[in-house]
Amino acid sequence: AKLIIKDIDIRHTFTSEELDVVDISWDITYEAEVERHNCYLDISYNYSSVARVDCAEGGMALPNPVLWWPLGMGHTPGLMYDIIITIEDLETLVTDQYSLPYGFRKVYWDADTLKINNEPFYMHGIARHEDSIIRGKGFDQATLMRDHHLMMWMGANSFRTSHYPYAEETLQLADRHGIVVISECAAVSLDGFNDQLLENHKNALTELYFRDRNHPSVVMWSVANEPRSFRPEAGPYFESVMEHLRSLDTSRPLTLILYDHDLDVTDYAIQYADIVGVNKYMGWYSDPGHLEAVGKQLITSLRLWRETLNKPIMITEYGADTVAGLHSLPSLMFTEEFQAEFLTKYWEVFDELRAEGWFIGEMPWVFSDFMTKQEIRRVAGNRKGLFTRDRQPKMAAHLVRGRYQAMMADATINHDEL
């Protein structure tokens, strides 16, 4: 007789501001060809049983839950429960069983902030690509671990799955180590906002949601990267896209990643997002080489976005192509000195705006060099990586490490429990 667990959807909400009781609800879909069967959940923490509940109960309250925390917030990161779902044939004792690691955390956002477990969360992270020198875009466990260790070495507390859903193993690792993930739909440079595209986009978001919904590391959804949303028809299109995703999930904020056109804030889509992601390349694609102009332009532009939208803002890309081993003093474009100076100019602005509260994160472009099509603006691929394509650091990686590790040390020192 057939016994198959088909789908597991687990949700949770906190019933008090103190986060001392969590209400867990579930929807378990399974197929059982026998009448006499059981379906139950075992919830355990650190190999100790916490509760056993019948699937039909649909939910329970768990007092004093151990919380899932991001890395670098002064708490032990990535603590998770194991929720084991079992269906059992009472005649033959044949079972089907699925074990789901699950973390309890509260995500909160408003016009001014992003909080995790009631504490402000600042993303000092990185944008990535699934690309490596031997396997290309193919999944490789050794590369996954190398990349993960390099992120930990840098002190990154977050990343965006630019520009498509990443392998589930990547998210599982993020869950366990308290790395916050912005999970992004494969929608890059969208244009021609028609009904067929809208239907495809909604389907892709549905698939993304159903795959990634049970990961505590996934704290935010990104619906698209750099759409041509300066076109008026992008307005109703993205209103419909966001409405669709919110019909599936109201527990996470939604973002849309914009390509920034300097001081032009004409955009018809971003008003429907909760959090604004902006990609900035002042000093590279605009005013190339003129790092002396970056500070004033960047702060003016970001303040303009803030005044226009009154939403939290993060920089989801900023960077400069850099050929490893190429040096110049004074710095010139494509040298390691230029990349280091470029990042430093941006940080001066980030630090000023972070103090105002509404600026909530920074992610350089990009973790490592990656291959692209051949074109005159690419030197055998995109060279904006902090690491080379074979995962060795450029000068900038050491600078980012110094910045991020200091941020984590501050968060730990300032924590009221210590």
- Give the residue carrying structure tokens 């067929």: 196
Residues tagged active-site:
226
DSSP letter string, 81-107:
EEEEEEEEETTT--EEEEEEEE-B--E
- Is the distance from CB of 166 to CB of 198 less than 8 angstroms? no
The phi, psi pair for 4, rounded to 5°, reads -140, 125
CA distance 174 to 180: 7
- Is the distance from CB of 85 to CB of 5 less than 8 angstroms? yes
* Chain length of the chain: 418
Nearest to 366 by CA among 305, 299, 302, 316: 316
Nearest to 362 by CA among 376, 375, 349, 377: 349
CA distance 173 to 176: 5
Helices (H) and strands (E) in the chain, counts: 7, 19
- Is the distance from CB of 336 to CB of 328 less than 8 angstroms? no
CA distance 151 to 1: 47
